[in-house]
Copies of this chain bind each other. A is one copy, B any other.
């Protein structure tokens, strides 16, 4: 069977996680997130944040996004997102279904900057005939693999605070961002420069699970109710706690992301040497090489990947994603194929 580079959730969980699930399996625990494992996992994450944030575990990214956004906003308030933002394009209207408009901003690299936000504000007149912009949604790494620098995040947060808007960071691939070679962000800086963010587990070695981190104290009240009313509160919350405990007990969370990034960078280097250009300059586990139709057909014989964007009749950008597990030897074989591209 062909090896798939289509996404980073094609395999199950890291073996340590499965072992922990077995080891703890029969110990009785309180339900709905009140188990000892969730408690311990939250403390481990808080320690790394050096910030007393409130933490909640949920099963997936769309659920995290819709629960957070709907909990924070009043009915007339809207969201600003990059046009490539996951909430804008790939969540079946989940955010709008909770009643809120998303303003989409076209960007070159999937990242929002204060100027982008200002343009949206300028296009609105702060009158009751138009929605009120209240929350800025960013992803790190972005949906096209780019990352925010510490300075960029700080600028953005300063701007949001000046405009009384919340900053929410979707960290479905935050591990990959924080371990990219060009990264200078830390969890501490994120905790100080966002109102809410989440640490993605599903795309980084867990079976399911995202850790929502609420830094802004004013936004914590009653958050548990929102989890329950969106169907996000698992009866066996231990399943989430145990996984994050393994991911953050030592540095597993970061090692898995580093592995994925490293394999992607090896493939990127091979495409570069084969003379290919890329749709975006990325250092995380997603790369977007631009290939000819013939090259795509050739690589498709033994590997699976998405055609991301058709550029002209002869060229398209493809998307290659590596995971916490992607075996080095398969990458070696793939690199050999790339070397033979004409």
Residues of A participating in the B interface, judged by any CB pair closer than 8 Å: 1, 3-4, 7, 9-13, 15, 18, 21-22, 24-32, 59-67, 70-71, 74-76, 78, 89-94, 96-102, 127-132, 202-203, 207-208, 222, 224-236, 238-239, 325
Contact = CB atoms under 8 A, between A and B. Distances in A.
15 contacts: A11-B29, A18-B18, A60-B235, A67-B231, A74-B74, A75-B226, A76-B226, A91-B228, A94-B230, A96-B100, A128-B227, A202-B234, A208-B235, A208-B236, A231-B232
B228 A208 contact: no
A210 to B, nearest CB: 10
A325 B7 contact: no
Contacts of A63: 231-232
Given A75-B97, A76-B228, A207-B239, 6 more contacts: A7-B235, A75-B226, A76-B222, A98-B99, A128-B222, A231-B232
A222 B22 CA distance: 37
Contact of A202 (B66, B99, B207, B236): B236
Contacts of A93: 75-76, 78, 99-101, 131, 229
A83 to B, nearest CB: 10
Contacts of A233: 60, 62, 128
Nearest to A72: B74
Contacts of A102: 101
A94 B231 CA distance: 7
A10 B11 CA distance: 28
A25 to B, nearest CB: 4
Most buried by B among A26, A61, A92, A207: A92
B92 A60 contact: no
Contacts of A10: 28-31
